[in-house]
Amino acid sequence: MVRSTHRDMYMNFKAIEVSLNGSDTTTVVEEQVPTGLSVRGLLIWQIHQVEWFSDQSEADCEIRAALSARTGLVGVPLLGDDGVYAWWARQTKLVTEGIHESLMPFHQPFLPPVPLAAPAISLYARTLADVAALQGTIVRVRIGYTTAPLDANAYLEIAETWS
């Protein structure tokens, strides 16, 4: 079998977005994006960073989201669950001085990068309480990655990372 020796010199970006449920924001929503990868393929993604964004309105609530190689889940996976690459919670609190919120984007770097060879990656999101003001709110993630050949060493790293 011919192996690819392609290795990116510069970062690539993959953006994924999901809209919170329009009738109940506590309902888990998922956006699945094909990566074109496979553990039997020639390339892997080396994920260097994940950036989180939200157009959350001024409401007293918390949005939780996760980026996972596992698709079709019925709940937002937790940080320690199999296949989770990144996990994010955004809390907005109404305070007497106005509104307190976290800065966007929220940046999660991975040094060294984390390998991905899954055929798809999913973004999951929901709120902890149903908040009408958040119906249709967009949660976005931007993955910064480079590609590298899938050789025996990379295969072992994937097995070790996700065992």
Domains delineated in the chain: 12-161 (2.60.120)
Query: Within 10 A of 138 (CB to CB), how many other CB atoms are there?
Result: 13
In this prediction, residue 3 carries a pLDDT of: 53
In this prediction, residue 58 carries a pLDDT of: 60
Alpha-carbon distance of 58 to 66, in angstroms, equals 22
In this prediction, residue 5 carries a pLDDT of: 63
In this prediction, residue 144 carries a pLDDT of: 98
In this prediction, residue 160 carries a pLDDT of: 80
In this prediction, residue 108 carries a pLDDT of: 93
In this prediction, residue 54 carries a pLDDT of: 86
Sheet containing 106-116, strands listed edge to edge, beginning at the edge strand earlier in sequence: 12-19, 138-149, 43-54, 106-116
Positions of the chain with pLDDT lower than 50, given as ranges: 1-2
In this prediction, residue 11 carries a pLDDT of: 95
Quick check: 77 and 14 in contact, CB under 8 A?
no
In this prediction, residue 109 carries a pLDDT of: 94
In this prediction, residue 1 carries a pLDDT of: 43
Q: What is the pTM of this model?
A: 0.87
